[in-house]
Amino acid sequence: MATPPLTPRMLIPTTLPPLGSPRSKESTVRPEITLEQPSGKTKSTGSKSNKLLRRVRSVFRSLPIMSPMCKFPGGGGTRVHENHVHGGTRVTGTLFGYRKTRVNIAIQETPRSLPILVLELAIPTAKLLQDLGVGLVRIALECEKRPSERTTKIVDEPIWALYCNGKKSGYGVKRQPTEEDLVVMQMLHAVSMGAGVLPVNSGGGGEGDLTYMRAHFERVIGSRDSETYYMMNPDGNSGPELSIFFVRV
């Protein structure tokens, strides 16, 4: 049986060696990061905020990984029509991680720009990608309102309670992009949409290849206390669909 051809946007360069592979001196060289600065991005001067993020992430990693059933019980739910959300801004979203570890979500203005948001959720990567393949997935990230921080953007909060299709599933945290995050984004800089694996050497940790899914998202800002990212289907009718809601309550 003939193998169906792959489209160019789905291909990953096969000449890139596994990240961190010790087989040769050449294979340990990481690709040069050529990602562009997002528009309007200013250098952060809040070292206190960065310390808080690191402290929250340290606590978060000590929490157990949840394995919720992220499939809707029925085929209902609001769908996005004509592959566009009124008032939305198109961005690039990438879900990635090792199969049994927490899933990461990176949001970029374009596939060739640095991430403007990186989230780490207490859901195994394989579980979330599996559920995306069979039904709607809605993720809600909730945090409490604090009058003293009215100027803080909703996506700049350090930690949220995580709900997957209405079920409490642990926590989600915002973190700064790591070196490995940037390498992954660099390897995918020519991919606008698609899914697959990257040959990442995990240093003997037994985590295997790094799985990813990339798609266009529509970003909709409802208010100071709400923001939503809708994953867009290429055909507007079928395929995986994901909505991520940020809410301050």
pLDDT 10s digits, 141-153: 999 988 766 788 9
| Cα–Cα distance, 191 to 193 (Å, whole number) | 6
Work out the pLDDT band at 22, boundaries 50, 70, 90: very low
**What does the domain layout of the chain look like in residue ranges?**
89-248
Sign of CA dihedral 222, 69, 132, 176: positive
Residue with tokens 């340290």: 58
pLDDT tens profile 28-77: 567 899 999 998 654 443 444 455 555 555 544 444 444 444 443 333 34
Q: Which two tokens stand for residue 172?
A: 């989600």
Percent of all residues in the chain with a pLDDT value above 90, rounded to a whole number: 51
Alpha-helical segments (H) within the chain? 47-61, 125-132, 179-187
Phi and psi at residue 140, to the nearest 5°: -115, 130
